[in-house]
Amino acid sequence: MAKLQLSVAMGDYDRNRALFDGRVQIDGCDPTYMLLNPEEMFFRAMRSRDFDITELSFSSYLVKHSRGDSPYVAVPVFLSRAFRHTSIYVRKDRIRKPQDLKGKRIGIPEYQLTAIVWARSILQDDYGIAPEDVIWVRGGIDTPERPEKIRLELPPGVKIESAPEDKTISDLLNEGAIDGFIAPRPPSGAALKNPDVGWLFDDTVAEARDYYRRTGIFPIMHVVGIRKELAQQHRWLPAAVFKAFSESKTRALELLADTSATKVTLPFVEEQLKAARETLGDDFWSYGVAPNRKTLEAFTRHHFAQGLSARKVEVDELFDPSTYETYSI
């Protein structure tokens, strides 16, 4: 029987490399892999449905899924995760503490980005700053006039402005025209070198560790989606995709733990690996619903509260039904 030919878009991460180089196969499939940056993947997936299997923004998927018009069904493979304390930059000459952001102007590339949903949840839960308490200024990080990927219907109290047509939000932060900046990437250009621009939290690692100890949440950024009609036609496919991505991650973690020669171009990797295990446990980058239910419930709750989901989506309907349980030997 001929294998199913599929296009697969994903990021160039260590946890995907065994798929890309062929050490791990998706059962029954002959994939063509494309290693793309998140902005291109997500735009093409949501605007023109370019891929059979694709990495997706968790937030974009949830917006579409809650409306019943997502072209993809997700599997609980979490290719990107991050504590988003490092995503919040401020003008240090006027913002001394998180509470100082009330009533201020914060630049964002898109309101519905997953990283920004998580950052708003931190500001609201830990510091009492609701989305309605600030003015959101939308624009590109590196180039002006970045649009939202998908149409949003936000609560009436949320205030959003567009950045000037010839300015990026990095420019506005550097010039002092906005007080804060939240994005998956750091500000670019002169803003990065401006001594008055820096992280809101001086010790982001300590903040993230404290956040995890209090909440048990390691924020999920991206999921993997399969074109709905393919998942319906080939009922074996979602489980096969979950299995393959899980095996690829296992290979990456095995290499990372092999200290005979450093696999990552970064000093102190052994120490950071030890610290991650001490804080998050041995399975610190887990796939699957069961070990991530608390994180998934927190995100769906905040996503709905921030006016992004059309309805409150339950965790048990987020993913293809075949991926909630796996076999054991």
Report residue 286 CA to chain centroid gap. Answer: 15
Claim to verify: residue 135 and residue 175 sit in the same structural domain = yes
Q: Is 44:51 a contact under the CB 8 Å cutoff?
A: yes
Residues 88 and 162 in one domain: yes
- Joined together, the tokens standing for residue 177 give 């025209």
Domain boundary among 192, 215, 238: 215
Note whether residue 328 is domain-resident: no
Judging by beta carbons within 10 Å of its beta carbon (0-12, 13-18, 19+), is residue 191 exposed, middle or buried? buried
Task: Based on the fold, state whether residues 234 and 174 are members of the same structural domain.
Answer: no
Range(s) of the domain holding residue 248: 4-82+219-323
Whole-angstrom CA distances from 223 to 29, 61, 77, 172, 321 are 20, 8, 5, 32, 15
Q: Specify the number of domains making up the chain.
A: 2
Residue 313 is assigned to a structural domain of this protein: yes
Distance between terminal CA atoms of the chain?
28
Instruction: Note whether 207 and 317 are same-domain residues.
Output: no
Asked if the structure places residue 100 within a domain, the reply is yes
Per-residue model confidence as pLDDT tens for the chain (329 residues):
689 999 999 999 999 999 999 999 999 999 999 999 999 999 999 999 999 999 999 999 999 999 999 999 999 999 999 999 999 999 999 999 999 999 999 999 999 999 999 999 999 999 999 999 999 999 999 999 777 777 888 888 999 999 999 999 999 999 999 999 999 999 999 999 999 999 999 999 999 999 999 999 999 999 999 999 999 999 999 999 999 999 999 999 999 999 888 888 989 999 999 999 999 999 999 999 999 999 999 999 999 999 999 999 999 999 999 999 887 77
Same domain, 99 and 245: no
User: What amino acid is encoded at 179 in this protein?
Assistant: D
Which of 324, 318, 323, 322 shows the shortest CA–CA distance to 70?
A: 318
Residues 132 and 145 in one domain: yes
Rg (CA), the chain: 20
Q: Which residues pair with 122 in a beta bridge?
A: none
Identify whether residues 71 and 95 lie together within a single domain: no
The DSSP-derived string for 55-96 is EEEHHHHHHHHHHT--SEEEEEEEEEE--GGGGEEEETTT--
What is the pTM for the complete model shown? 0.95
